[in-house]
Amino acid sequence: MAISTQPTEGRWSSRWLFVLAAAGSAVGLGNIWKFPYIAGENGGGAFVLIYLVCVAFVGAPIMISEVLLGRKGRASPINVMRSLARQAGASARWSFVGWMGVLAGILILSYYAVIAGWALNYVWLTASGTFNAASAQVATSTFDQLQQDPVQMVAWHSLFILITIWIVARGVSRGLETAIRWFMPLLFVLLLVLLGYSASSGGFAQGWAFMFDFNWDVVGPETWLIAMGQAFFTLSLGMGTMMAYGAYVPDDSNIGSTVLTIVALDTFVAVAAGLAIFPLVFVNGLEVGQGPGLMFVTLPLAFGQLPMGAVFGTVFFVLVSFAAITSAISLTEPAIAFVVEEYNAQRSRVAISLGVFCWLLGLGTVFSFNIWADAKPLFGLNFFELVDQLSQNIMLPLGGLLIALFAVWVLPQNIVREQLEVRSDGVMLLWRIVGGIVAPLGVAAVFVYTLLPLFTG
């Protein structure tokens, strides 16, 4: 089959819709589940500040690179990289970045759907009053029981994949835009409601201090690296998602200001999620640094102790589920866009096949929490940990590194000037320094750091 570099026909109906879609991709479990617990484990304010630096100096330039490549190439990431590399007189092997992104999307979706399935389950659990005045023991054992029960986990995992694929199959304008138009505004409203709730809970000052009081003593080199990895995952960078979405951006949208809006929205949600969660944790005298259970054990427990906790707890898990769905949709886009344009395939069929594949792969993650918990085939990691490490800590940083290097050092810079509407030489110099040197070096540091322990034990 000949390589199709036909420009894609789809367009976001406005710049604002692209902002919502990209923010929908960025805002997800990474912001609401992961960010607060990582911040909790890494000293709060110290981590938050470093995270913000990483978002600004590594995340933003890489996102700009992805969107500009996508809009210039107007195709799926694999074909964008191939055609732009040719245009720049470089090797078509740059399309490797696109292939790796497709694979990373499949791997991430397979386990993302399992964790998001827990959130769906928690909508039901909180709404039905499971945590009303519950003891810490009840909250812990509810979470443990879910993890120990493969049948339940498979059921929620399946439901999440079904919802995602149903939306994706309906196509960019009908499915994606409709979902995003509803989900994103609702998500912000729900978050504001929760912030108000936690602000009136009595622990707000303590929560605020934990998030923003900077304490150098707890900062080590590792804090930087964890923050960098988190900035990367949360902004959906390194696997071509933003490139795929960038392919639908109208010509008259300003990429720089659009990306800054997306980055700001994503950061706002992460910080707001922290500010919504920590006061509730403090007011109940609970532990901030307890890890992944922060959202599934501590939080339901905290809600259960508060007036109207079941209502607000349910609202919270609905919010998490919405956020996860819009991110999951975006994880499929690089693969689906490629198969559709390359083989002229029907979008719904491709979506269903991809869904079945990710669902099957996700079973490995489900079983990693129960029947395969002790199976550690490689590097002492179970199936879930392997897929997670490989995609999040290796493929995304490598993809991001290559994308930034390509956009700054391979792509003719007149294309960058034209795409970013830059006239000043000073701004171009800044772009080269931040995008071509600072960001790649930052990512390379994370990459090496996360790879080394795998080989040195």
Contacting residues toward ligand PFF, per CB under 6 A: 25-26, 28-31, 105, 108, 233-234, 236, 239, 241, 327, 330-331
3-state secondary structure 405-438: HHHHHHCCHHHHHHHHCCCCHHHHHHHHHHHHHH
For the chain, report the end-to-end CA distance as a whole number of angstroms.
45
Tokens of 417: 């000037």
Whose structure tokens read 């290796």? 394
Q: What is the CA radius of gyration of the chain?
A: 21
Nearest Cα to Cα of residue 262 among 449, 17, 14: 17
Q: Which residue is nearest to ligand PFF (CB)?
A: 30
Q: What is the Cα–Cα distance from 381 to 365, expressed in whole angstroms?
A: 12
Nearer to ligand PFF, 233 or 296 (CB): 233
Cβ proximity to ligand PFF: between 201 and 267 the closer is: 267
Residue 334 beta carbon to ligand PFF: minimum distance, rounded to whole angstroms:
8
Least separation, in Å, of the C-beta of 141 and ligand PFF? 27
Give the dihedral sign, CA 156/157/158/164.
positive
**Closest CB to ligand PFF among residues 80, 139:** 80
CB of 318 to ligand PFF, least distance (A): 16
CA distance 377 to 327: 29
CB-nearer residue toward ligand PFF: 31 or 267 = 31
Q: 3-class SS at 378?
A: strand
| Shortest distance, position 322 Cβ to ligand PFF, whole Å | 12
Q: What number of other Cβ atoms are within 10 A of residue 360's Cβ?
A: 11
Count each helix (H run) and each strand (E run) in the chain, helices first: 23, 0
Shorter beta-carbon distance to ligand PFF: residue 68 or 219: 68
**Residue whose CB is less far from ligand PFF, 306 or 401:** 401
Q: Which is nearer to ligand PFF, 31 or 201 (CB)?
A: 31
Q: Which is nearer to ligand PFF, 26 or 354 (CB)?
A: 26
Q: Quote the least distance from Cβ 108 to ligand PFF, whole Å.
A: 6
Q: Which contacts of 81-88 are long-range, i.e. CB under 8 A and separated by 24 or more positions?
A: 81/406, 82/3, 82/5, 83/5, 84/406, 84/411, 85/406, 85/410, 87/412, 88/410, 88/411, 88/412
Residue 439 beta carbon to ligand PFF: minimum distance, rounded to whole angstroms: 17
What residues are paired with 378 via a beta bridge? 381
**If you write DSSP's letter for every residue of 288-316 in order, what string do you get?**
TT-TTHIIIIIHHHHHHHSTTHHHHHHHH
Q: Toward ligand PFF, which CB reaches closer, 51 or 233?
A: 233
Query: 239 or 387, CB closer to ligand PFF?
Result: 239
CB 432 → ligand PFF: shortest distance, Å?
Answer: 26
Q: Kindly report the CA angle at 99 between 229 and 438, in degrees rounded to 5?
A: 35
User: What is the rounded distance in angstroms from the CA atom of residue 131 to the CA atom of residue 136?
Assistant: 10
Q: How many CA atoms lie within 13 A of 217 on its CB side?
A: 2
CB 427, min distance to ligand PFF, A: 28
